[in-house]
Amino acid sequence: MSILLTILYAGVGKRVILIDTGVQGNSSHMVLNTPPPPYLRDVLHKRSITDAILKCEITLRDKNLSFYLIPNNGYLPEVSFSTIESSFKRIETFFDIAILDIPAYQNGEYDPFIDACDVAVLVYNPNSVVIHSVSKAYVGKCRTIPVLNRDLGVEKYKTLIEEFHDKCFIIPFDPYLPLLSPENLTMVLLNLSRKTQESLVVLALEILKPKDSGRKTKSLKNLFKISTILRR
């Protein structure tokens, strides 16, 4: 989901960076087979976070897209909220949007990273135990958006999530998504179902929604142009 949103935003002209915080660097390896160091874990203390930025480029149909990546590999060092916040301020100098790919967790070790963000997308599986756990996992200060990542027979789970949140977004299962890899990235993007594309656009719009929901901006409307990029 982090990769798809990153490419979606890049496709409509946003300068976007994907920051991988996972120990295994899962999203890093879905974009690049062997991302070179330095990694996020190497730059949080002794170096500038910008030292780890890589530029990635892909071609979809006749359109060239570029986005940026900070890969990771290995455990992150323990860092204070102030260190993370100052690193993010450096990122804000260069980018319109920064997306953190944070692994699933049942404790607060990643809370300082989430607290430094404007929005946290909480991803749910259709399972009652998981829904209760995830809903209580993060109680920080940033705005949360719940996402259920399947759409078959999930109405009861959607209702359960809505007991914790005002709304729930659904990203339908797409048979091409499990094939996501550096070799298959373009093929997967070009074959995503229309329903999956439209669901991603709705989520992308919600993420960028201003705090004053009554205000509309031109940049939000431009996101609908993604259909001209991810077209089968």
> Which tops the pLDDT comparison, 135 or 181?
181
Distance CA 28, CA 18 (A): 9
Contact by Cβ (8 Å): 88, 116: yes
Q: Sheet containing 169-170: give its strands across.
A: 119-124, 143-148, 169-170
Q: Calculate the average pLDDT of the chain.
A: 86
CB 173 within 8 A of CB 154: no
What is the rounded distance in angstroms from the CA atom of residue 134 to the CA atom of residue 129? 9
pLDDT for the residue numbered 231: 33
Mean pLDDT of the 8-25 span: 94
Alpha-carbon distance 151 to 157, whole Å? Answer: 10
Q: Is the pLDDT of residue 223 over 60?
A: no
pLDDT above 90 coverage of the chain, percent: 60
Mean per-residue pLDDT, 113-134: 88
How big is the CA angle at 151 (ends 150 and 157), to the nearest 5 degrees?
Answer: 85
Q: What digits encode the pLDDT tens for the residues 192-219?
A: 999 999 999 999 999 998 765 444 444 4
Give the mean pLDDT of 108-128.
Answer: 89
- pLDDT value at position 129? 86
Do residues 23 and 41 lie in contact, with contact meaning Cβ atoms separated by under 8 Å?
A: no
> Which pLDDT score, from 0 to 100, does residue 151 have?
66
Q: Is the pLDDT of residue 229 over 50?
A: no
